[in-house]
Structure 1
């Protein structure tokens, strides 16, 4: 899993407000397109999820996986696959938040590997669609 897809969006809110939305994993199915379920399995001392099971429907790829999360305050969260699904064999991602005064730049990076052999171009296109949709959904939810 060498390559990843990265994109950003500006959200009219502070880092703490945005990270609170990102950290509320169990609420994702209500606002994040493609996320069908999320169950926190373990939480860290800060109350944020350290492990969770996530079920998603990403068009041609639907699966349930186990993810481990690492939080860096309201600046960044990283996640990585710790329990493969039936299709997804590798996954890592992150949200990085950068304060821009009255708004925040949110950078989303994602890399996914699947059992199904996919040419690199198709894999990157799928990642771009997932990243773009996630950023737009986050912005819409936070700014509403």
Structure 2
């Protein structure tokens, strides 16, 4: 049986699958980046929960990360911006991931250019996605 944490992260991963970019979960950066871009979901940290005692519940603000990478010559910035906007639209379309969590809140992307020896630089960003959900225990 999957934990609430894993169920919510799997739902987030599934929510991003229809996007044009290749979407992976906890994978290493592949050697080739598709022209449409790449998204790698990192599970991140659930952090310290707030606890209510009656009934006993653990309320998490889990911080997952999306690594967004684009490598394209002409139009790289446009492809990158389109992909970031598509992620925002996908998350805004269902902020509860089908009722599995209370709220999904992406933060602004932290952009960076990654130089690659002998190739065009990768344009990348990390988007922290805060997942608010409740469990019956810290390992549930």
TM-score range, shorter chain: 0.3 to 0.5
Higher strand share goes to which structure? 1
Larger Rg: 2
Q: Which has the higher helix share?
A: 1
TM-score normalised to structure 1 length: 0.39
Q: TM-score, normalised by structure 2?
A: 0.39
